[in-house]
Structure 1
Amino acid sequence: MSTPLVTDDLAREPANDVLALAEAARRADGVAPLSEHTVLRVRHGAPSGSSRFHVITADDRVVGFAFVERVAGEPDSGEIVVDPAHRGRGHGKALLHSVHADAGPHGVRVWAHGRTPQAAAVAAADGWRPVRELHKMRMPLRDVPADAPGGPWAAPELPEPELRPDVAARVRVRPFVVGQDEQAWLAANARAFADHPEQGQLTLDDLLQREVEDWFDPHGFFLAATTDGSVAAFHWTKVHRDGAGLSDTEAVGEVYVVGVDPDWQGSGLGRALTLAGLRHLRDAGLPWVHLYVDGDNEAAVRLYESLGFGMWDTDVMYAPGE
């Protein structure tokens, strides 16, 4: 077991090692160990004072890594990954101890993506307890035969999105326009996710980093734009070229984020934009779509189940024991 190096500035060579390490773990475990947000922080760096990188090296390369994001007034939020070829040597425990010792004034919590036995065992052995769940749901966009993974499953009907007349008179559903809609979307996102410690904190830099990613497609980013130029609701879709664990041969879609400004809650915009995005992904020929939803967001789970989604997997957030 090694003592991690803790830094707020990850150099390029270690960053490349971390991305390679994450890919090796994804192949071994069948689930990506780092969120997209963490990958972007590794690739592009983080604003000063916002993040901490914990790195374990062996044989001149990174074999263990943890990332921690700091949000004012909230516990730090972290992720940990250990090289499959270097597991069982105490690196996971060392990283847990490191992020705990380095935590901000409100403590730290760590995500484990998927219910992998290794993550659960490391957390339990060190007295960390589950405190939050993020469900992963999936839905076929075309029929899945009985002899295919996930089958048999008939793709549900996706009706044409319809807006109530009073809502349709006040908003227009259209694609996101790069260079025009950033500030309006950021304002709507912050209001829609004011109580969400990750999504609600996105900045202009965070959005611009996503705009230059290979997967970014403004035609799959739907806004309900009001007559005064604000955004009442939105549905941002994403395409995973690697299949995201749902397909070995085809790209699949994701309901990346759906948000409704609090002033527009109950307007039906959330369901309408969700349908618009799902039809967009289906019409692109994708076989599957998935999404993430907080375990305690029962209303959202019911909405997605009514559209045809089913439970697939769960990410678990752990906190240190008392």
Structure 2
Amino acid sequence: MSTPLVTDNLAPELAEPVLAMAEAARAADGVAALSEHTLLRIRHGAPSGSSRFHVVSEGGRVVGFAFVERIAGEPDSGEVVVDPAHRRSGHGSALLRSVRDDAGPDGVRVWAHGRTPEAVSVATADGWVPARELHKMRLPLRDLGPEVPGGPWTAPELPEPALRPEVAEKVRIRPFVVGQDEQAWLEANARAFADHPEQGALTLDDLLQREVEDWFDPRGFFVAATNSGSIAAYHWTKTHADGAGLSDDEPVGEVYVVGVNPAWQGTGLGRALTLAGLIHLRDAGLPWVHLYVDGDNEAAVRLYESLGFSMWDTDVMFAPGDGRG
């Protein structure tokens, strides 16, 4: 077992092997161990001082990797992946020790996406304990037969999004305009997620990196624009060409993120924008849409359940049992 290389900047010659290993793990596990945010950091690099990369190599081959994002005043947030062909060799434990020993002053926490038995086993064996849950919910966008796991599925009727008259006088729901709406969206996102260190800290570079991804489609990025040009709320949808574990042969949709400026909460904008995005994905012919929601966000869970979503899976964030997270 090799000692992980720890660095602020992942060398270009390591990026491709890490991405290839992560894809091999996704194919083997049926769930991605690394989030989109982490993949973008691998491809494009990270702002100085914001991240740490941990790489385990064996015989000249990358066999394990961890990424940690650092946000002031919060525990570091990490993800770990081990090559399926090199598991049960202690690499996962070595990476967990590495991110724990390298943690910032507020400690560290690490995600186990999909709560796979192997990931949970490694974490608990090393004394890590559950600290946060992120539920995954799903909704059929068309009727699906009994050949679909859990089927048959009946797609619910989606009402057309409607704004209250007093709200409709002040905002208009429209698609995001590339080259025009970036700054207004960043301001709205920061306000909507002021208490969410990962989403609320997104920068212009983060947004621009997503705009050039193959999946980006401004037609599925809905904003509630005010008469003054600011953004009161938004719903950004995403299409997964690989089926995201819901379909073997068709792309599926995602409620990528819904944000509402606190000054506009309680106006019905969140529900209206969510419906606008769901109808867009349905009309694109997609069979499924899924989303992620924090386990303790009961209001959001109730909203999505009222639209027909049901629980599908759960990601678990683990913290060291010694209290360092």
TM, length-normalised to structure 1: 0.99
Q: Distance in 1 between matches of 2:81 and 2:153?
A: 33
Q: Distance in 1 between matches of 2:189 and 2:154?
A: 33
Q: % of aligned pairs identical?
A: 81
2:117 maps to 1:117: yes
Deviations 1:175-198, CA, capped at 9 Å, x for gaps = 000010001000000000000021
Deviations 1:133-190, CA, capped at 9 Å, x for gaps = 0000001000111222231110000010000000000000000000100010000000
Q: Which SS does the other structure have where 1:319 is aligned?
A: strand
Residue number in structure 2 paired with 1:21 = 21
Q: Distance in 1 between matches of 2:100 and 2:312?
A: 30
Residues 140-289 of structure 1: matches in 2 within 5 Å?
A: 140-289=140-289
The offset of 1:202, in angstroms, is: 0.3
Deviations 1:90-130, CA, capped at 9 Å, x for gaps = 00000000000000000000001011011111111111000
Deviations 1:206-260, CA, capped at 9 Å, x for gaps = 0000000000000100000001111000000000001111111000000000010
Deviations 1:248-306, CA, capped at 9 Å, x for gaps = 10000000000100000000000000000000000000000000000000000010001
Residue number in structure 2 paired with 1:77 = 77
Name the Cα RMSD after superposition: 0.6
Q: Distance in 2 between matches of 1:148 and 1:78?
A: 34
Query: In the comparison of the two structures, how many residue pairs are matched?
Result: 322
Residue number in structure 2 paired with 1:101 = 101
Any conservation in 2 of the 1:171–1:226 contact (CA below 8 Å)?
yes
2:315 maps to 1:320: no
The offset of 1:312, in angstroms, is: 0.5
Q: Which SS does the other structure have where 2:100 is aligned?
A: helix
The residue identity in structure 1 corresponding to 2:201 is Q
Q: Distance in 2 between matches of 1:148 and 1:215?
A: 25
Q: Which SS does the other structure have where 1:114 is aligned?
A: helix
Any conservation in 2 of the 1:14–1:61 contact (CA below 8 Å)?
no
The residue identity in structure 2 corresponding to 1:163 is L
Q: Which SS does the other structure have where 1:201 is aligned?
A: coil
Q: Distance in 1 between matches of 2:178 and 2:74?
A: 32
The offset of 1:80, in angstroms, is: 0.1
Residue number in structure 1 paired with 2:42 = 42
Q: Distance in 2 between matches of 1:191 and 1:61?
A: 43
Structure 2, unpaired ranges of 5+: none
Regions of 4+ moved over 4 Å: none
Q: Distance in 1 between matches of 2:276 and 2:245?
A: 24
Q: Which SS does the other structure have where 1:200 is aligned?
A: coil
Q: Distance in 1 between matches of 2:161 and 2:34?
A: 34
Residue number in structure 2 paired with 1:309 = 309
Any conservation in 2 of the 1:135–1:294 contact (CA below 8 Å)?
yes
Structure 1, unpaired ranges of 5+: none
Q: Distance in 2 between matches of 1:150 and 1:224?
A: 36
